[in-house]
A and B are shown apart, each in its own frame.
Chain A
Amino acid sequence: MDTGIGILAASYYLPPNRKPVADIFRDEEIPQEKLAADVDFQRDIGIEAVHVSGEVSAASLAVEASRRAIAKAGMDANDIDLIFDFTSIPEEYVAPTWSAAGLVQNELGATRALATAVNTGGCASYHTTLRVACAMLAANDRYQTALLFAGDKVPELNHTYYPITVICDGGSAVILKKGYDKRRILSVEVATAGKLHDVWYIPGLHNRDANDSKGKWLHMTADVPKFNKEVIPINLFMFRKVMRDALARIGRKQHEISYYVYPTFSTWDQKAFCNAFMIPPEKIFTDGLQRHGHLQETDMVLDYVDAMDEGHIKDGDLVMLTTNGAGFSWGAALIQH
């Protein structure tokens, strides 16, 4: 496949305030449903603290991350042709009527750009968006540059996504450029299992329970029995499928992958992934888990940036970015350094 498109720059922004996970477990209601994995959720999660944005809006996190990416790329916002919001949780106003794409376009002064939002994929929305953005760039001569951004802020008392992880607030941004020969996107695969569409969901104001005094209508809600019964059994199979398909598109094999970027959900999840695919610790970035926990789709950008900045990824490396999302989607992208 080789899209002929490269990652010109990537960046993120984490709000300065941090909240220890111990305090999050103290303040939030933690469900008691049994986990499929034989672990103690609170003891074994492996996250020390998460960033909390307080009064700062989700879109502001995205704007700051976007500004950092643009500065890193050494370009002007007016040079951006396409803007994609790939945020996977609710933003300031109700979607799909609204997205932060226009707001970010306006804040950046990217007046030439076409701004839209990809609103599916859960934490794999980065992959879904990469696929759409690469197609739009490749199919149209007039599009040369795309900004992909996300801004995630969870309600104050909804940092715990039991039985998966603890959520951090933050924003991320990536700039894609056609013809850029470094960090070339070789292939992107996405798979969705529609029957799992309602394993994770947020009820919404229109579904608010009359007795809801804690704003749970805006909280991520999990169908834990369905998660245990239907997601867990296929999860690694689906990871294998998207990674194999991504490799097959370019005629490469798993042993050629130099480095993996994988979501920072929990210790047991990272361990299960590494064991299943026989990935040694030095070939995968896991440090982000302890530092900040999980940032939805932004994990893929944040951990990729940190892995590069900390010297884990070198010129010539073939890097696999892979994730699952909201119980129903899986994504894999191969980046040639």
Chain B
Amino acid sequence: MNRSKIQVGVVGAACGLPLAKQFSSDLARAESISEDGVSGLGIEEVPVCRGETASALALAAAKEALQRAAIDPLQVDVIVDYSILPQEYLVPAWNMGNKLQHELGATKAFTVGFSGGASANVLMALSSATAMLQTDGKLKTALLVAGDVAIPGNRILQTKSPLTVLGDSGGAMVLRRDAERVIVVDAEIKTRGENHDVYYIPAGALANDDPEQYRITVDAARYDAALASNHLQDAVKALLARNGLSIQEISCAILPNLSRAHHARLQEMLGLAPAQVCACKLRDHGHLQGTDLVVNYLAMTDKNALKPGDYVLVASDGMGTMSGAVLLRY
């Protein structure tokens, strides 16, 4: 349990999606992959950029999230970037958060960003931003933001068969110290260092300059083994036990959108009833990295089905590398 009693809550969230969409079947044809292979994923179409940049999507999401939170960009104290896909220039020498700071006019803010962890990177951002707001009296508002645009020709990720279809997106969440609802109660994140290269891009940095290998690559055997293990379950169990809760007391679980099979496996692993997975935008968004958890969070809030005091579990297995969960109290 957190030592600090200072409450930090989610006061706004938004996505910035490109206007264009493409059917998974069309993408499969374009990438010379069997349409049958993608039809079982549960992803009909994904948002795709037609010239928009990742930072433009992120900026749109950030502006919308701040507006929903009724917070002026000048009040933002820290911008936390949880993007996962390659950016306009090479990270970590360059970071989108600084560009956004400028474009938002968030002149008071400083920037932080995290790498790795796939869709669980947003949980790292949530956890660390909460910690900063809880422990530093000078900080009141954090903006979490990401912009992810797939590498051309690299939308369908494969192991033995298609694993997921990548969409393009920007996502943003606003955290506020002393918030009164959607409180970040606690977080538990675990990493398996041995899986650091299960989900990665082999070329494009010091190791390799072969353009053919400049694409997201998934190590099938190790990814499958990771998914078969109980790594995420261990993290969730620890989180719930620390907070005196059982999985049955979770009103809504928010999971990443990789595929139907992945959803089913995580539900089985965590012991979630289907009704607890109350928000999922898999079908018409595909996989948006960490922003999966933001679009599903928004789907949950749009349903207006939760009441004050309900617990929400936001969890991801981070492609076998980073497994984590954040507990929210509505």
Assess whether A235 is interfacial by the CB under 8 Å rule: no
Q: Let me know if B116 and A101 touch, CB within 8 A.
A: yes
Residue of A nearest to B207 (CB): A92
Known A92-B206, A132-B128, A135-B128: A125·B92 in contact at CB below 8 Å: yes
State the CA gap A138–B3 with chains docked (Å): 8
Can you report 10 A-B residue pairs in the complex whose CB atoms are below 8 A from each other? Answer: A88-B92, A90-B92, A95-B115, A102-B197, A115-B191, A119-B114, A135-B131, A135-B135, A194-B101, A206-B151
- Given A194-B111, A204-B90; 11 other pairs, CB 8 A cutoff: A88-B92, A89-B92, A90-B93, A97-B85, A102-B191, A116-B322, A121-B111, A138-B135, A139-B2, A141-B2, A194-B97
Known A138-B131, A205-B209, A218-B205: A198·B89 in contact at CB below 8 Å: yes
Q: Which of A93, A102, A119, A215 contacts B113 (CB 8 A)?
A: A119
Assess whether B124 is interfacial by the CB under 8 Å rule: yes
Tell me the chain B residues, 85-120 only, with Cβ under 8 Å from chain A.
Answer: 85-87, 89-95, 97-103, 106-107, 109-117
Residue of A nearest to B117 (CB): A116
Q: Which of A96, A101, A132 contacts B84 (CB 8 A)?
A: A96
Known A90-B205, A102-B321, A192-B111: A95·B191 in contact at CB below 8 Å: no
User: What 1/0 flags go to A173-203 for Cβ under 8 Å of B?
Assistant: 0000000000000000011111111101111
Neighbouring A residues of B202 by C-beta, 8 Å: 93
Assess whether B192 is interfacial by the CB under 8 Å rule: yes
Residue of B nearest to A107 (CB): B193
* Interface core residue of B93, B100, B112, B132 (most chain A CB under 10 Å): B93
Neighbouring A residues of B200 by C-beta, 8 Å: 93-94, 97-98
Assess whether B247 is interfacial by the CB under 8 Å rule: no
Q: Which of A119, A132, A134 contacts B115 (CB 8 A)?
A: A119
State the CA gap A131–B112 with chains docked (Å): 10
Q: Let me know if B4 and A202 touch, CB within 8 A.
A: no
Neighbouring B residues of A57 by C-beta, 8 Å: 206-207
Q: How far is the CB of A251 from chain B (nearest CB, A)?
A: 14
Assess whether A153 is interfacial by the CB under 8 Å rule: yes
Q: Which of A1, A91, A96 contacts B206 (CB 8 A)?
A: A91
Q: Let me know if A194 and B98 touch, CB within 8 A.
A: yes
Q: How far is the CB of A174 from chain B (nearest CB, A)?
A: 18
Q: Which of B2, B98, B114, B321 contacts A197 (CB 8 A)?
A: B98
**How many Cβ-Cβ contacts under 8 Å join chain A to chain B?**
252
Known A135-B136, A139-B2, A192-B101: A119·B204 in contact at CB below 8 Å: no
Q: How far is the CB of A101 from chain B (nearest CB, A)?
A: 6
Neighbouring B residues of A136 by C-beta, 8 Å: 127-128, 131
User: What 1/0 flags go to A267-292 for Cβ under 8 Å of B?
Assistant: 00000000000000000000000000
State the CA gap A89–B115 with chains docked (Å): 13
Q: Let me know if B196 and A102 touch, CB within 8 A.
A: yes
Q: Let me know if A98 and B201 touch, CB within 8 A.
A: yes
User: What 1/0 flags go to A25-45 for Cβ under 8 Å of B?
Assistant: 000000000000000000000
State the CA gap A183–B94 with chains docked (Å): 31
Q: How far is the CB of B52 from chain A (nearest CB, A)?
A: 16
Assess whether B168 is interfacial by the CB under 8 Å rule: no
* Residue ranges of A at the interface with B (Cβ–Cβ < 8 Å): 1, 57-58, 85, 87-107, 110-111, 113-122, 125, 128, 131-132, 134-136, 138-141, 153, 155, 190-198, 200-208, 215, 217-218, 220, 249, 326, 328-329
Counting contact residues on chain B (CB < 8 A from A), the size range is 35 or more
Assess whether B130 is interfacial by the CB under 8 Å rule: yes
Q: Let me know if B193 and A116 touch, CB within 8 A.
A: no
Neighbouring B residues of A1 by C-beta, 8 Å: 136
Pairs A-B, 10 closest by C-beta atoms = A102-B196, A194-B101, A105-B193, A106-B193, A194-B102, A197-B98, A119-B92, A139-B131, A120-B95, A96-B115
State the CA gap A94–B107 with chains docked (Å): 29
Q: Let me know if B116 and A192 touch, CB within 8 A.
A: no
Q: Let me know if B93 and A93 touch, CB within 8 A.
A: no
Q: How far is the CB of A213 from chain B (nearest CB, A)?
A: 11
Q: Which of A95, A111, A206 contacts B92 (CB 8 A)?
A: A95
Q: Let me know if A93 and B207 touch, CB within 8 A.
A: yes
Q: Let me know if A98 and B121 touch, CB within 8 A.
A: no
Neighbouring A residues of B134 by C-beta, 8 Å: 135, 139
Q: How far is the CB of B116 from chain A (nearest CB, A)?
A: 4
Residue of B nearest to A85 (CB): B115
Neighbouring A residues of B124 by C-beta, 8 Å: 116
Assess whether B264 is interfacial by the CB under 8 Å rule: no
State the CA gap A304–B24 with chains docked (Å): 54
Q: Let me know if B203 and A205 touch, CB within 8 A.
A: yes
